[in-house]
Amino acid sequence: MRFQLLGPLSIAHGPETVVLKPSKPTSLLAALLLHPGAVVSTGYLLRAVWDEEPPATARAALQTCVLRLRRLFAKYGISATTIEAVPGGYRMRNDTETLDLVLFRLLTAQARAAAGTDEELYRLREALSLWHGQPLANVASRMLQRDAVPALEQERLRVLERVCDLELAGGNCHQVLVDLYESARRYPVRERFTEQLIEALYRTGRQAEALAEYRTVRDRLREELGVDPGPGLRRLELAILRAEELGPAGRGEGAVELPSRQEPSAVTGPVALRGSGAEPGHPGGTGTAHPGRTAHPGRAGAPVGGATPVRGFAGREADLRAMALRLTDSDGPRLVVVSGAPGIGKSALARQSAYEVRDAFPGGVSVVDLAHPDGSGLGVDEARELLPEPDGGGRRLVLLDNAAGAGQVLPLLSGTGDASVLVTSRRGLAAVVATHGGAVHRLDVLGPGEARRLLAGLVGAERIGTEEAAARELAAVCGHFPLALRIAAGRLLTRPGLSVADCTAWLAEDPPARLALAEDPRLSVPEVFGQAVSALPPPLRETFLRVGSLDPAEGLCAAGSETVLEQLVEAGMLEDGPPGQAYRIHAFLQVYARWLARDGEDAAAATSLTR
């Protein structure tokens, strides 16, 4: 017996496969299977089954749905205990034998660990064979269709992209054309498929068709979204026009590396070119070991990125000036820490700053991401392997992005030699600055004008300019947090007919929950903020939740002891307050704390019902 999610929700029992009818129990089963082995809160299940308007008797009706599923299971010899009632909600323990989604993720993990490309390709093809149509096509839940289905599709598409990369790398350009034609047509805004298709056509001597494909997707993007193709496609077009030789097939910066967890993000970037005049370690350099990172000249294949501008970066002029002065002052500190709340734009500022001062570092600028896609920090040994080796080229700048804490950074500083080091972290890294000297740049939210310019740069000045008042309200709903603003911009970009006012009104109903793009956990307020809260020790987590219910005007000292509040400041969840007020919290973070506390109350209420 196996449950099947990677298509219409069904139960495979021997040679028989039963596709379930759309119903509330079917929606409940889908919500549980999407989180194998995890406790799914009653609040989440209520929203999955009844969407945004559960009736007053929904909790009792949910128990009835569970009973109906258990009766259905008994019909096919499935134990009634497959659905467990646990404190806070329900859980289903599934493995590779009982759920196709678990097997799919295991096969992709085995592919990552494969000894060679042939084995990797075999595992990935096996994983793709588990799909048998549109996932959850028979599940009526609007919430799951909106949030879960796109995420599942993204997992499949990332595997398919990697398969095409491997086929191109193996020289099978003719064989992979059929898959690429279909994928590029079906997912026109997913530029990596188009890059792969154009590359395959060019490598098989069909330059005219390759250029025609580029112009088709360029016109479609301009017409439907009002944007130009990404840098990868533009570089590829230029290479074809110049009749340049491409780098190794399927291994450009846009090449997809399989995720280290179940829902990472795909990366689209420029294709590696030979003879383009690009320097290794800079945009357009040849060869990469990881997506979006170029090889540093001091160590072949080392996954280190160079200095590139941040797309849509706007505002922060004073911060950029201050950062430039600190980084380029030859007599100033060689270490600069950018700290602040999650989602406040630390990485964007640091990367943009590194790009703008790159000329002051003739030895090069290297960017090392110290976090896994799920937000967990790299181990020290793992991070050391990513550090670039000095090449004697002059003054260098190393950006250590997304540092988890002092314990991760301190052992790495000895490996940076005489380079200037820029670190981003939610934490203040006082221990690092105290032992090595340096400056700390604490980042605040964007100003209203800066937030408006960021939206205009991402969505388009004309579209934002026609709804100025709604744009200001949207920025306020997002708390002027760059993360939230980019998520809102993504929703507007993918819905050209959606007005800014309607988008704002929808988000304002539940900002912490709705500010999320399903295909990328890094563009999700619940995911990014949730990672930060989960990293807190329990006493700090409880204090942060209490902060959500306090009036900032009356002070936050009632939430906990000074020691605990200071630790929350160090963790980036609170800020030092103005004179006369010891602490403050960003308004949007407080909205999230209140939302999180309310979700916990729902779970506690559900626990009392299941006893």
pLDDT band at 342 (very low <50, low <70, confident <90, very high): very high
- Checking if the pLDDT of 250 tops 80, the result is no
* CA angle, 148 then 534 then 66, to 5°: 45
The answer to whether residues 576 and 583 touch, using CB atoms and an 8 Å cutoff, is yes
Question: pTM score > 0.85 for this model?
Answer: no
**pLDDT: which is higher, 296 or 418:** 418
Torsion angle of the four alpha carbons 5, 11, 17, 21, in this order, in degrees rounded to the nearest 10: -80
User: In whole angstroms, what is the distance from residue 473 CA to residue 508 CA?
Assistant: 9
pLDDT band at 221 (very low <50, low <70, confident <90, very high): confident
- In percent, how much of the chain has pLDDT > 90? 25
The residue type of 443 is: L
The residue type of 95 is: D
Mean pLDDT is highest, among 344-348, 428-432, 522-526, for 344-348
User: In whole angstroms, what is the distance from residue 84 CA to residue 61 CA?
Assistant: 17
Residue 394 has what DSSP assignment?
A: S
Lowest pLDDT segment from 151-165, 175-189, 526-540: 175-189
Q: Give pLDDT tens digits for 39-74.
A: 888 888 998 999 867 778 888 889 899 999 988 888
User: In whole angstroms, what is the distance from residue 94 CA to residue 440 CA?
Assistant: 47
Instruction: Give the bridge partners for 294, in sequence order.
Output: 304
Q: Give pLDDT tens digits for 536-547.
A: 888 898 899 888
pLDDT band at 518 (very low <50, low <70, confident <90, very high): low
Instruction: Give the bridge partners for 401, in sequence order.
Output: 369
Instruction: Give the bridge partners for 400, in sequence order.
Output: 368, 423
Helices (H), 85-141: 100-112, 117-128
Mean pLDDT of 23-31: 92
- Checking if the pLDDT of 122 tops 90, the result is no
SS3 assignment, position 298? coil
pLDDT band at 26 (very low <50, low <70, confident <90, very high): very high
pLDDT band at 436 (very low <50, low <70, confident <90, very high): confident
- Which H/E stretch holds residue 589? helix 587-610
Q: Is 148 exposed, middle or buried (0-12, 13-18, 19+ CB in 10 A)?
A: buried
The answer to whether residues 553 and 296 touch, using CB atoms and an 8 Å cutoff, is no
pLDDT band at 113 (very low <50, low <70, confident <90, very high): confident
Give me the pLDDT at residue 374, please: 63
Give me the pLDDT at residue 292, please: 32
Give me the pLDDT at residue 486, please: 92
pLDDT band at 519 (very low <50, low <70, confident <90, very high): low
Give me the pLDDT at residue 402, please: 92
pLDDT band at 598 (very low <50, low <70, confident <90, very high): confident
pLDDT band at 392 (very low <50, low <70, confident <90, very high): low
Exposure letters 566-599 (e unless 16+ CB within 10 A, then b): ebbbbbbbbbebeeeebbbbbebbbbbbbbbbeb
Sign of CA dihedral 447, 523, 324, 574: positive
Name the residue with tokens 């193709």: 229
Q: Give pLDDT tens digits for 177-207.
A: 878 888 888 887 788 888 888 888 888 888 8
Residue partners of 177: CB distance under 8 A and separation at least 6: 197, 200, 201, 204
DSSP string, 133-165: SSTTTT---HHHHHHHHHHHHHHHHHHHHHHHH
Secondary structure string (H, E, C) spanning 227-290: CCCCHHHHHHHHHHHCCCCECCCCCCCCCCCCCCCCCCCCCCCCCCECCCCCCCCCCCCCCCCC
User: In whole angstroms, what is the distance from residue 364 CA to residue 394 CA?
Assistant: 8
Q: Give pLDDT tens digits for 267-321.
A: 233 233 222 232 222 222 322 233 333 333 333 333 345 667 887 788 889 889 8
Instruction: Give the bridge partners for 273, in sequence order.
Output: 246
Mean pLDDT of 395-421: 88
- In percent, how much of the chain has pLDDT > 70? 84
pLDDT band at 376 (very low <50, low <70, confident <90, very high): confident
Lowest pLDDT segment from 114-128, 326-340, 355-369: 326-340
Give me the pLDDT at residue 257, please: 40
pLDDT band at 373 (very low <50, low <70, confident <90, very high): low
What's the distance, Cα to Cα, between the start and end of the chain in Å? 30
pLDDT band at 417 (very low <50, low <70, confident <90, very high): confident
Mean pLDDT of 113-127: 86
Mean pLDDT of 167-183: 82
pLDDT band at 259 (very low <50, low <70, confident <90, very high): very low
Residue partners of 223: CB distance under 8 A and separation at least 6: none
The answer to whether residues 397 and 361 touch, using CB atoms and an 8 Å cutoff, is yes
Give me the pLDDT at residue 33, please: 93
**pLDDT: which is higher, 397 or 297:** 397
